[in-house]
Copies of this chain bind each other. A is one copy, B any other.
Amino acid sequence: MEFHTTYSDNNYTIYVDNGILNETLQKYTSQYNQVFYIIDSHVYDLHEEKFTNFDTVIKVPRGESFKTIENTIAVIDELLDQNIKRNDLVVVIGGGATGDGGAFVSSITLRGVDYIHVPTTLLAHDSAIGGKTAINRPHGKNLVGTFYRPNAVIYDLDFFETLPEEEVLSGFGEVIKHAMLAGKESINRLVDETKDGLDITRLNEFILYGIKTKMYYVSVDEKEDNLRKFLNLGHTLGHALEYSFKLKHGHAVVLGIIGSLYISNKMYNDIFDLESLISYLKKIGYDLSPLKEMNTTEMIHYMSSDKKNMRKSFIGYIILREYGHPELIEISTSDLEALLNEMKAII
């Protein structure tokens, strides 16, 4: 299946299917003098047989540990050592973190070279679309980066067969988020079809659905001036929990969404049946205990450096007026801390 972005220019194609990697790559690589492959070392070890015809492979540390400035510069220097030209191509193969860091490398090497992202985790279906690149600083996640579009995204579902359960749960967190942003019908259907547990072979439909939702948001608001902010649903508290409890990203987003809906319920007369949602989430395997154990003062501290914040002592927070209708509110740090403490009782 193919999707096409709908920007005013520089559009690209997102390919989604089983077993398409080499064939699709070749359509692109044949147009370039030199192609460099940046591959997550863990993915490389698991799928070495897929990469045998790649010339220049640069293996990078697994997952989020890649996203340091030191690793960024090491990869850039390796590309320069190998005499990369501005009209060469970089192919980034790995999960969301590899994509963030590899795309950042591509965006600043020689002021930007072409790149293709090959996501290998469920979660990456989120970060691979939208042209956000990033690395981390000690101050927080994704604080250094660029907006830079890939030339293509190749989503070979074969990679998923090797995903461990925690990766599936993490990836499914963003699928839940996208369904909630899409509307009541989408989230109800998702819950209904997965209420007996996550079966990875049945998830393709939801992945495709997530891609469409994401593409809609980023095509109307690439630079996150307005609508695209809503894709951060669950990410404000989520990033703080992720950092503090070393959680998988999508797992943390699910916890953050519970925080958002709890605030929505306080503002809009209990419109969400949080009790049912919580029992569903527990049943399919999410550990919600960090929401009970979190130090709310520490969480507020982390949330204070969120990129969405516009005023001191206020946190920009995304809630849902109803499913399909996100809102960005500003909530004072003291009110937010009180609400988060209150919420612990329902987990």
Contact = CB atoms under 8 A, between A and B. Distances in A.
B310 A77 contact: no
The number of times this chain is found in the oligomer is 2
A87 B229 CA distance: 14
A285 interface: no
A239 to B, nearest CB: 14
Given A77-B137, A80-B139, A137-B80, A144 B109 contact: yes
B145 A85 contact: no
A34 to B, nearest CB: 10
Contacts of A145: 108, 111
A143 B80 contact: yes
A278 interface: no
Nearest to A105: B144
Nearest to A110: B307
A143 B309 contact: no
Please report whether the interface of chain A is mostly helix, strand, loop or mixed according to DSSP: mixed
A154 to B, nearest CB: 24
A112 interface: yes
A201 interface: no
A143 B109 CA distance: 6
A132 interface: yes
A83 interface: yes
Nearest to A81: B139
Contact of A111 (B83, B87, B147, B309): B147
Interface in A131-159: 132-134, 137-140, 142-147
Which 9 pairs show the lowest CB-CB distances between chains A and B? A80-B139, A111-B145, A108-B144, A86-B307, A69-B73, A110-B307, A111-B147, A108-B146, A111-B146
26 contacts: A33-B310, A77-B139, A80-B137, A80-B139, A80-B140, A80-B305, A83-B304, A83-B305, A83-B312, A85-B307, A85-B309, A85-B310, A86-B307, A87-B310, A108-B108, A108-B144, A108-B146, A109-B143, A109-B144, A110-B307, A111-B133, A111-B134, A111-B144, A111-B145, A111-B307, A112-B147
